[in-house]
Structure 1
Amino acid sequence: MCLADAPAPVFALVSAPETTNSAQVTASQAVNLELPADVANFDYTDKTTDLWERVRAGYAIPDLENQLVANQLAWYGTRTEYILRTVQRGSRYLYHVVEELEKRGMPTELALLPFIESAFNPQAISTAKATGMWQFMAATGRDFNLKQTMFKDDRRGVLDSTDAALNYLEKLYGMFGDWQLALAAYNWGEGSVQRAIKKQQALGLPIDFQSLSVHMPNETKNYLPKLQAVKNIIGNPEQFNLALPKLNNQPYFVSVEKTRDIDVRVAAQLAELPMDEFTALNPQFSRPVIAGGSNTKILLPTDNAALFKENLNKWQGPLSSWSAHTVQKTERVEALATKLGLKPEVVREVNFIPAKMMVKAGSTLLVPKSSKTPDHDISLEIAEKAQLVIEKNSTRQVSYKVSKHDNLAGIAKRFRVSVAELKSWNQLKRDSVANGQTLRIQTPVVTRVNQTSILASTRRATAPKIVRHTATPTRNGKTIVANLKATRFK
């Protein structure tokens, strides 16, 4: 498909606006398309031709055999369509995970762990707000250098989250010296496993996974049996009447280092990728523009990276349609939009601000570029530190008795309302008030709201498909809500 014939991708929340003063950017200014050395110089001669064989060859965790494993095998064994959907989704990422495991000398069945955690969906959010393919909670993610900003959440990023998950698993194996216990700790928490070990030791009892399971919640008891079941099925698919698709033993994607801001829709169009495929590889970006410095990477299928470079060299339009605006005082979205010459719904939708919410002073809003806004990239400091804090905008009625020194403007300022509102509430035709006059005022009552929580709730509420493995809940007993098909960008 040539670029000229490609339909223009549309951002699901709000279409990127046209800009009037954006400078043209050349390919050399926008991205670095040099292939990483491990991809450009990759030698396949000593590798198997099927990635599944490579996975099976690296199995190294002792097998677990008990009734719980049998139960999980029975569950998965009758759901071959679910397995194949998960495999198809995971085929984008599996080579990278296996490659990273082998570099570290770690067991390759750990590459199947996202099968259990998220069904290989990097957009998955649990009801406990664990996020991404490897299901990191916010605090744990920060412990492993996964940045969570207004513009991106590295817990969803394929490269960053995989690196963090393997670092965490290595740490846990170093603590316990046993991969089964390390996996239990990944699910249950290292402190919980340590306390269970101490209880067993105090009683002179064994401290292997099966022995410790008497202290575990049901979720953790089933966690390793789930992985064992999937490991068995991938190891011998013919025993379960399953025909696994062949996965080529080669990289699915390459990294593109971005040096200028670029809209998500533009990046997908230049790569000639459907929006759902682009966001499946780049799910960490939370806004319609990819901001940040040269450390911000875009993943593209190898063939599409070449198309991206070719199309970028021909591109005549702006790369980025968005800029950042710092809010100077706490205001309603309608007032902010009027000042910026925008429609309130545009500001709300692109910034995930629900109705009846005010924006707190110091917050950063993403707004369309226009002739009134400077045409430059969002600064690295804003991209890495920007926050959006919103407050519930509710009111209560109070009565105020006017004193002889009062005027409407002063009263409006005191109560954080407008003069027009004061006149409307009190049927005033003039801008003057009399000493002793009683005014009715609708005063705002604000409650600070975590905008990140609202964003997570919005993603869950709009997910087109919900996956619940009712027999075996995920971490902390919470059920994964997985957005299986598409994403915030369509």
Structure 2
Amino acid sequence: MKYLTFLLLPIILFANLRYESNHNNELKILESFDIEPSFLNDPTMNEVRSDKTSISKNQHFFTAMNNAYIFIPTIKNILNKNNIPQEFLYLAMAESNFKTKAYSNKSASGLWQFMSRTGKGYNLKIDSYVDERRDLIKSTKAASQYLSSLHKRFGKWYLAAIAYNCGGGRLSKAIDRAGSDKLSVLLDEDKKYIPRESRYYIRKIVALALIGNDEQFMLKSEYEHLLNRANAYSIATVKLSSGESLKRVAKILNMPLENLKKLNRHLKYDFVPPYATKYDVYIPYLKLAEFKQNYFEAPIKNIYRVHIVSSGDNLSYIGQLYGVPYKMIMDFNSMKNSRLKLKQKLIIPTHSNEKMKKVRKRFSYVVKRGDSLGSISEVHKISVKNIKSYNQITGSLIRIGDKLKLYE
């Protein structure tokens, strides 16, 4: 028996040390949120934690972490620079599951799920070409500013997290009604000081942070490499000129286009906005040296198709031909109006090896007695508006013998 005890003693001691170490780590995580240690005993939080680590759910957790592997160090770095606890990384996970393209039924978008108005309030550009709520760096900087302002207002990080979910005004009213800003009071299930969603939300963030920092849980999985994230697996920012193509950049970097697009979901199309002299595009940090060595700016006419205007062309027809909005053609060619000139060269933002859209063949129709724009429209299945547009007709008057351009 003594011999057996002697053999088992190191194992028992190691297990106790491991438990003590993990417990201390959990307390540090709670401290980063300004939450009391007793919250580790919160039954609902532990239920969320248990659910997320169940066999059926932990794959979902690890998949989300693995998909964000390349940019998690960058997010943590931005949070750290703005004095935001790194555990707020898991607020982004709770919001979007680390999907930069995430879009909610309430029209919130991006990693941090900004509403359009809030995003614009933090200088995130949203237009026909970009939605910077999906820009993983700019949106994280905006979220850091927002969280800092909430922390300054409420004084505790768990309150900043709750306010991020339900709004500062609603939380202020809840604190006034409760007569306290203690988490245990605000989470009262009977009094319901804060919305049910917010009561779950703070528990979910804490549970995710505890799971993500549980070394033993990670080591038991096939994703233990997530514990060794290094800055080398982060991203770099490069400045690209107006209209530069992601397809071309991906080819220069010898990487799949889809991988480059995943880092640049803020671009609505696969190119830099035509109005931007220089614009931020993200590449894997490991590709930065290759970019500096091999990248060169090419004339935009060498990147895209060039269309030479012929008789009868208009922007609407050209746009249909190439599958490009006519407004985009105007933007790429710095056109102030839609007037075209014969043999004018237009840059069309579509790659030369892409198939053009099949459009209806244009033909002429000679106006006969009794014809009107309405009758011609009905017979040829083309709107009066388009007939007038194709033929520069301002009113509704047409004459016998007039030759009208139509489509079949």
* TM-score normalised per structure 1: 0.56
Pick the aligned partner of 1:71 from 43, 47, 69.
Answer: 47
Report the number of matched residues: 316
1:95 matched to 2:67: no
Could you report, residue by residue, the CA deviation over 1:77-104 in whole angstroms, capped at 9, with x for unpaired residues? 1122112111111212211121122222
Asked if the contact 2:114–2:133 (Cα under 8 Å) also holds between the matched residues in 1, the reply is yes
Asked if the contact 2:100–2:135 (Cα under 8 Å) also holds between the matched residues in 1, the reply is yes
- Distance across 2 between alignment mates of 1:93 and 1:57: 27
- Counterpart AA for 1:193: L
* TM-score normalised per structure 2: 0.67
Pick the aligned partner of 2:259 from 277, 281, 292.
Answer: 277
Matched residue, 1:482: none
Asked if the contact 2:244–2:300 (Cα under 8 Å) also holds between the matched residues in 1, the reply is no
Matched residue, 2:97: 119
Sort the Cα spacing of 1:237 and 1:151 in 2 relative to 1 into closer, same or farther, 3 A. same
- SS of residue matched to 1:127: coil
- Which of the pair has the greater relative contact order for Cα pairs under 8 Å at 6+ separation? 1
- Distance across 2 between alignment mates of 1:375 and 1:263: 13
Asked if the contact 1:172–1:185 (Cα under 8 Å) also holds between the matched residues in 2, the reply is yes
Matched residue, 2:249: 267
Matched residue, 1:307: 290
1:353-368 equivalent positions in 2, closer than 5 A: 364=328
Asked if the contact 2:305–2:347 (Cα under 8 Å) also holds between the matched residues in 1, the reply is no
Pick the aligned partner of 1:249 from 219, 230, 234.
Answer: 230
- Counterpart AA for 1:122: T
Bigger shift: residues 257-266 or 87-96: 257-266
- SS of residue matched to 1:245: helix
- Counterpart AA for 1:249: A
- Distance across 2 between alignment mates of 1:83 and 1:109: 16
Structure with larger Rg: 2
- SS of residue matched to 2:282: strand
* C-alpha displacement of 1:345: 6.8
1:193-232 equivalent positions in 2, closer than 5 A: 193-201=171-179, 206-213=180-187, 214-232=192-210
Matched residue, 2:118: 140
- Distance across 1 between alignment mates of 2:287 and 2:135: 19
1:54-453 equivalent positions in 2, closer than 5 A: 59=29, 60-61=32-33, 62=35, 64-65=39-40, 66-78=42-54, 79-201=57-179, 206-213=180-187, 214-239=192-217, 241-242=220-221, 243-246=223-226, 247-251=228-232, 252-291=234-273, 292-313=275-296, 320-321=303-304, 339=315, 342=318, 344=320, 346-347=322-323, 350-351=324-325, 364=328, 372-374=344-346, 408=372, 416=385, 418=387, 431=400
- SS of residue matched to 2:283: strand
Sort the Cα spacing of 1:408 and 1:72 in 2 relative to 1 into closer, same or farther, 3 A. same
Asked if the contact 1:261–1:289 (Cα under 8 Å) also holds between the matched residues in 2, the reply is yes
- Counterpart AA for 1:102: N
- Counterpart AA for 1:154: E
Sort the Cα spacing of 1:366 and 1:307 in 2 relative to 1 into closer, same or farther, 3 A. farther
Sort the Cα spacing of 1:407 and 1:298 in 2 relative to 1 into closer, same or farther, 3 A. same
User: Structure 2 regions of 5+ residues with no counterpart?
Assistant: 1-24, 307-311, 334-342, 350-369, 378-383, 391-398, 402-408
Asked if the contact 1:271–1:307 (Cα under 8 Å) also holds between the matched residues in 2, the reply is yes
* C-alpha displacement of 1:76: 0.5
Sort the Cα spacing of 1:410 and 1:73 in 2 relative to 1 into closer, same or farther, 3 A. closer
Asked if the contact 2:158–2:202 (Cα under 8 Å) also holds between the matched residues in 1, the reply is yes
Asked if the contact 2:243–2:300 (Cα under 8 Å) also holds between the matched residues in 1, the reply is no
- Distance across 2 between alignment mates of 1:132 and 1:366: 29
Q: Which structure has the highest helix share of the two? A: 2
Sort the Cα spacing of 1:318 and 1:92 in 2 relative to 1 into closer, same or farther, 3 A. farther
Could you report, residue by residue, the CA deviation over 1:93-124 in whole angstroms, capped at 9, with x for unpaired residues? 21112112222222110122221111111011
* C-alpha displacement of 1:313: 4.4
- Distance across 2 between alignment mates of 1:108 and 1:309: 31
Q: Once superposed, what is the RMSD of the aligned Cα atoms?
A: 3.9
- Distance across 2 between alignment mates of 1:177 and 1:193: 13
- SS of residue matched to 1:135: coil
Matched residue, 1:21: none
- Distance across 2 between alignment mates of 1:179 and 1:200: 18
User: Structure 1 regions of 5+ residues with no counterpart?
Assistant: 1-54, 324-335, 352-358, 378-405, 422-429, 433-490
- Distance across 1 between alignment mates of 2:347 and 2:205: 51
